[in-house]
Structure 1
Amino acid sequence: MPAAETSGSIAHSPASADRRVLRIAMIGQRGIPATFGGIEHHVAHLGRRLAARGHEVTVYCRNNYVLERPATVDGVRLRHLPTLGTKHFDALAHSLVSTMAALADGHDILHYHALGPGLFAPLPRYLSRARVVQTIHGRDDRRQKWGGAAKAVLRSARWLSERVPDAVIGVSREIADEYARLRAHPTVHIANGVERPVSAVSVAPVLERGLAPGRYVLFVGRLVPEKAIDLLIRAFRDVPGDMRLAIVGGSSYTDEYVQELHALAAGDPRVRMLGYLYGEDLASLYRHAAVYVQPSHLEGLPLALLEASSYGLPTIASSLGCHREVIEEEGPGGRLFREGDHEHLRDVLVRVLSSLDAERGSARTRAEDVLARYSWDVATDRTESLYRSLVAAPERR
């Protein structure tokens, strides 16, 4: 059966009237303040909204994520704990340390984010009275950057995620429905959100990077194989004209893949590799782009696609189910191409770039629809209601 849409029974359960202050632990994210990483932005948005409602929210941060280590951010308590800063052990080591610290801190809710960190969910599930929630942000066990041993560990994490948590949240309907077919415990769909962007953004960051407003195609994200940036570069090389391609992002323990991308980009002087950008610089790149492309082979529900849509950018995305959820009806302002087909992507790019005025007009209408459907306030309402329903439930046996 499909996963619960939490605007239904859970969001309006009697538990939602409970005003008890909850002690909530967030585990699995790198940390906040968020720089790169969709999970980090997700936790930052939820955490500050839950804290503003009076809950005691603690985010367990890796000590190698950001240089600054404030004690609190936006009312959220931060605990900076050590990790092993390697590709294979970074998330797992920190999640174990964070789980032990959270158990000692006596939280009502331990909320794990992503598959790998959930390997340690059995500890609070069976050794404490805390309720365990796990948000599945994507199919991490299928990511190309992992070798055989790492994928085996993540498949074990996947098996546990289907059985251990008191509740599982899927950020897309596709993920939530997949889990709902496998689990006896609650599984709900709570989508990511997006905020309305400011209308006036300086063009200086665009000009400083050798770009012209309205004359570049944009991609934003970690440079990892499943994002298929190589496919985008290959497709763009066959697009005629002087339009540029701006790629915003950097390595995530994927240095070899990033080197391959730089080699590909070197073959076309129109391609700009810009590294990670944040804040006003990133907002400027979004605001002044011509088109946004999400070429991924694998996704959960990409925040970058939501953000690009919120700016009223014409978007082009691969035909993954989660992308179809955002775009809904393929047409002007929201185009799809066959996943993995760089020739089809090239054709769609040429089509969109040749009729930008019509694409932009429809994209502005789509922006309002995306802002209405993907709200962090609604996501917080539904997450809080889920927490309360779990805390109000009878004691586990």
Structure 2
Amino acid sequence: MMEQCKEKLNIAMFGQKRIPSREGGVEIVVEELCTRMVAQGHNVTCYNRGGHHVSGSEYDSKRLKEYKGIKLKTVPTIEKKGLAAVSSSFFAALCCAFGKYDVVHIHAEGPAFFAWLPKLFGKKVIVTIHGLDWQREKWKSGFGSKFIHQGEKNAVNYADEIIVLSKGVQDYFEKTYGRKTVFIPNGVSNHIERKPQIIKNKFGLDKDEYILFLGRLVPEKGIKYLIEAFKQVDTEKKLVIAGGSSDTSEFENKMKELAKADKRILFTGFVQGQALEELYSNAYVYVLPSDLEGMPLSLLEAMSYGNCCLVSDINECTDVVEDKAFVFKRSDINDLKNKLQDVCCHTGKVMKIKKNSSEFICKKYNWNNVVEETLIIY
């Protein structure tokens, strides 16, 4: 086994939108890694995008220069669709190339396009592939698609090590490029359950009265299947769809139109802080109906709050839950409807799964272990 390096490292990270922020899974991962690395005495600098929060400027936080010991630097960003990630990643890579860093850690395939730049200046480069981003609906054609495909290839060609979050992605890199990668899944923390206060006042939600989806409102999350299925379920429980749109609100508007005839379906918009904790804490069942995932952090979080989960049968979900959740056939509205009806009618089954959910997931996916394994790679 490799010995962990005891020296204090100068580490740079980019590829996230901004930290501190919950704009997506990447931001959560970067924050969890960096705060723990700083606590161990390493110097960490994160290069944040400029511009506004993905769910709207009302969620913008102050531009900090430091957060929990992490140095934060904001790079120039062209705030146009498709150019924000490209422009911010270029300037971040440039700063990393000229900065005094031992390791440059790049997150996601698009930003990895610029892996050659710090490499050219003698830096050690690590790339974490959070998922095969070119499979996502918004990157299936045009310039964005070409950019992300090339980012994947540049990761293969220039990164000293590639970290992947699922065995499926590991197999993909082996078969497609003959490139070995390191499998380090995401972690999760123990969470204290909260009584329904904010969600009761704001949305009229009480404990076990609702089924929850929480995530970005994008096509690959399977929200359309969930709405179609739930409309056919005989229950007084509500369906809560929590999360903001990504880039444009076109898809979100379509989903609201699809759901508007059913008064049981509630869209909360983007949530964070105590409201988010309350939603996780008081859900009857958490549903993740995705067609495509990298490593679903919302699923890990939902289970860490002791939730019973119902997930699509894609490997990225079933590898996480094992036999500790209910599973339906991906994109099959009828199967999803039947499973939803089943959990609504059989409270005992749901409570049995809730009992073991938190302990199981927190033991299986631990952030401290993730950080140790990452530092060994460094």
TM-score where L is the length of structure 2: 0.94
Aligned to 1:44: 31
Q: Please give the alpha-carbon distance, in whole angstroms, between the structure 2 residues aligned to 1:206 and 1:361.
A: 25
User: 1:177 Cα shift?
Assistant: 3.0
Residue 122, structure 1, aligned to residue 116, structure 2: yes
Contact 1:60–1:98 (Cα < 8 Å) also in 2: yes
Aligned to 1:358: 349
Structure 1, unmatched stretches of 5+, are 1-11, 388-397
Contact 1:233–1:264 (Cα < 8 Å) also in 2: yes
Structure 2, unmatched stretches of 5+, are 54-59
Q: Please give the alpha-carbon distance, in whole angstroms, between the structure 2 residues aligned to 1:67 and 1:196.
A: 25
Aligned to 1:13: 2
User: 1:123 Cα shift?
Assistant: 1.3
Contact 1:163–1:183 (Cα < 8 Å) also in 2: no
User: 1:179 Cα shift?
Assistant: 2.1
Deviations 1:133-189 (A, max 9, x none): 111111100111235212122222222223321111111222223224455665111
Match of 1:137 among 119, 130, 147: 130
Give the match's secondary structure for 1:177: helix
User: 1:106 Cα shift?
Assistant: 2.0
Q: Please give the alpha-carbon distance, in whole angstroms, between the structure 1 residues aligned to 2:244 and 2:164.
A: 26
Q: Please give the alpha-carbon distance, in whole angstroms, between the structure 1 residues aligned to 2:129 and 2:243.
A: 23
Q: Please give the alpha-carbon distance, in whole angstroms, between the structure 1 residues aligned to 2:92 and 2:25.
A: 20
Distance of aligned partners of 1:366 and 1:147 in 2 relative to their CA distance in 1, 3 Å threshold: closer
Q: Please give the alpha-carbon distance, in whole angstroms, between the structure 2 residues aligned to 1:164 and 1:100.
A: 15
Q: Please give the alpha-carbon distance, in whole angstroms, between the structure 2 residues aligned to 1:210 and 1:87.
A: 36
Q: Please give the alpha-carbon distance, in whole angstroms, between the structure 2 residues aligned to 1:87 and 1:57.
A: 29
Q: Please give the alpha-carbon distance, in whole angstroms, between the structure 2 residues aligned to 1:282 and 1:318.
A: 23
Once the two structures are overlaid, the 10-residue window that deviates more, 54-63 or 205-214, is 205-214
Match of 2:266 among 269, 272, 275: 272
Q: Please give the alpha-carbon distance, in whole angstroms, between the structure 1 residues aligned to 2:21 and 2:351.
A: 30
Deviations 1:230-253 (A, max 9, x none): 111111101112110001101111
% of aligned pairs identical? 34
Q: Tell me the amino acid that sits aligned with residue 352 of structure 1.
A: V
Residue 245, structure 1, aligned to residue 244, structure 2: no
Q: CA RMSD in A?
A: 1.4
Once the two structures are overlaid, the 10-residue window that deviates more, 57-66 or 295-304, is 57-66
Q: Tell me the amino acid that sits aligned with residue 130 of structure 1.
A: K
Deviations 1:38-76 (A, max 9, x none): 100000000000011111111101122433111111111
Aligned to 1:385: 376
Match of 2:218 among 208, 224, 227: 224
Q: Tell me the amino acid that sits aligned with residue 195 of structure 1.
A: S
Q: Tell me the amino acid that sits aligned with residue 198 of structure 2.
A: P
Residue 103, structure 1, aligned to residue 94, structure 2: no
Q: Please give the alpha-carbon distance, in whole angstroms, between the structure 2 residues aligned to 1:350 and 1:114.
A: 37
Q: How many residues align?
A: 369
Contact 1:166–1:186 (Cα < 8 Å) also in 2: no
Q: Please give the alpha-carbon distance, in whole angstroms, between the structure 2 residues aligned to 1:180 and 1:93.
A: 30
Give the match's secondary structure for 1:245: strand
